[in-house]
């Protein structure tokens, strides 16, 4: 909307012009009288301008603008109305901020606001309890200067905060914290920290229980299998009605042994978060051995198993863990692919790292199951697991073995068309061929 400034200007000039003309009528000199009136008017405007400048320079939120009349009175009244409106808005905003701070202060979880550079801007009382932050001296400090755990520093340097991080509290090693960062605004970061010590203890109890039970069951199972073996070796001397029960007992004993072996292997993988052994592993001959075992497992089903492996591609890691992970993927493809089906195994590298894919033409898996396949004992179909003799731990073993090698598992499947399992390893996990050749 265009403002009409001509009217207010004429109204402000009318009094000095009228006073100059009246004075000129008595003095008989209108020119000097008008000039004198305009000079007085200019001086009055300069005085009001100086008052406005002084008020702005020494502005206090609760100090109203100066009083005046005329055009300057309208200006000061407008400033006063804006000041009152801003005070009301600030009051409402401050009330909202106070309520947010009161609500976050009541949380048991720590809430921390960081700027785009990772410097502390604000935090609640729980952050002081869990991370040892101090008010106000830590304000503006980089969070990595106060939480010095190496994993936390690496976590802050990455750009993807999709996964949460668990680490000990800087105040107490017995406390385990889970941190999750979310970006908002112009690169600012919101960090949520919770105490997961109790959850961690329950998880450790579960792991200890599984490991202990698995160890304890191995001895009686070995005794049972030991007695069954000579009985079946002399099956001709055994009553015919006992032969089939003995064979079934041996099959179930073997199945239980496989289950215990998988449980113990998974317990060992979960016992350490990081890989302990980092030796160069030439993957191509490892895959060739797995393919031979897969062909033997296929037997009369006559699966077509194809291997395309990039020669000389070497990973840093544990050969036994990698062999267990890769063989689980290949053997699963054999078990769940109908007779005469095709299984393609590919091992290759690109600028992103190294990759292993196992693709089959099997029965496939519905999409709703894909996110849970790596859970322990998760069954897509209980009848399928019973028919194939699976333990339900294979993909959980694959997942943990890949975590030890900084890798990840990607699963794609469609019912009736087969499945594709792909292991991705970062480039940092590869061994340079030249370095390997010099070492050898």
Residue 434: per-residue pLDDT? 42
Cα–Cα distance, 333 to 419 (Å, whole number): 8
3-state secondary structure of 117: coil
Residue 284: per-residue pLDDT? 92
Residue 78: per-residue pLDDT? 82
Query: 66: closest CA among 39, 43, 58, 11?
Result: 58
Cβ pair 313, 284 in contact under 8 A? yes
Residue 5: per-residue pLDDT? 58
Cβ pair 228, 243 in contact under 8 A? no
Residue 275: per-residue pLDDT? 55
Write down the pTM of the prediction. 0.59
Residue 343: per-residue pLDDT? 93
Residue 440: per-residue pLDDT? 42
Mean pLDDT in order along the chain per 10 residues (440 residues): 60 70 70 74 79 81 78 78 83 79 76 89 87 87 87 81 84 87 87 89 80 79 81 73 80 80 76 67 92 90 90 88 91 90 92 92 85 78 54 83 89 89 91 51
């Amino acid at each position: 909307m265009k403002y009409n400034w001509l009217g207010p200007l004429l109204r402000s000039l009318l009094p000095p012009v009228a006073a100059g003309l009246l004075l000129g009528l008595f003095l008989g000199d209108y020119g000097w009288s008008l000039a004198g009136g305009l000079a007085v008017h200019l001086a009055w405007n300069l005085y009001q301008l100086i008052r406005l400048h002084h008020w702005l320079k020494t502005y206090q939120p609760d100090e109203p603008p100066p009083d005046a009349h005329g055009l300057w009175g309208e200006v000061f009244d407008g400033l006063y109305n804006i000041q009152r409106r801003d005070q009301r808005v600030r009051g409402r905003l401050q009330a909202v901020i106070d309520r947010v701070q009161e609500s976050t202060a009541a949380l048991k979880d720590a809430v921390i606001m960081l700027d785009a550079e990772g410097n502390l801007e604000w935090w609640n009382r729980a952050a002081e309890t869990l991370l040892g932050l101090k008010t106000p001296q830590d304000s503006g400090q980089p969070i990595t200067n106060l939480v010095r755990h190496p994993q936390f520093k690496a976590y802050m340097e990455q750009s993807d905060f999709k996964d949460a991080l668990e680490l000990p509290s800087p105040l107490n090693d017995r406390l385990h914290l889970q941190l999750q960062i979310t970006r908002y605004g112009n690169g600012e970061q919101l960090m949520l920290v919770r105490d997961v010590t109790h959850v961690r203890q329950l998880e450790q109890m579960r792991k200890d229980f599984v490991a202990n039970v698995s160890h304890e069951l191995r001895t009686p199972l070995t005794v049972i299998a030991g007695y069954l073996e000579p009985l079946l070796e002399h099956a001709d001397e055994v009553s015919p009605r006992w032969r089939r029960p003995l064979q079934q007992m041996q099959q179930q004993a073997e199945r239980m042994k496989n289950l215990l072996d998988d449980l113990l292997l998974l317990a060992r993988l979960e016992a350490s978060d990081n890989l302990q052994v980092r030796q160069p592993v030439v993957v191509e001959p490892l895959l060739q051995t797995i393919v031979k075992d897969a062909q033997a497992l296929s037997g009369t089903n006559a699966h077509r198993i194809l291997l395309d492996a990039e020669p000389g591609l070497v990973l840093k890691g544990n050969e036994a863990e990698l062999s267990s992970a890769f063989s689980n993927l290949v053997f699963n493809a054999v078990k769940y692919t109908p007779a005469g089906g095709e299984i393609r195994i590919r091992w290759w590298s690109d600028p992103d790292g190294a990759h292993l894919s196992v693709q089959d033409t099997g029965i496939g898996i519905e999409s709703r199951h894909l996110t849970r396949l790596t859970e322990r004992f998760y069954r897509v179909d209980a009848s399928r697991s019973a028919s194939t003799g699976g333990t339900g731990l294979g993909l959980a073993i694959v997942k943990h073995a890949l975590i030890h090698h900084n890798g990840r598992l990607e699963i794609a499947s469609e019912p009736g068309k087969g499945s594709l399992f792909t292991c991705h390893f970062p480039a940092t996990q590869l061994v340079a061929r030249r370095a390997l050749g010099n070492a050898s």
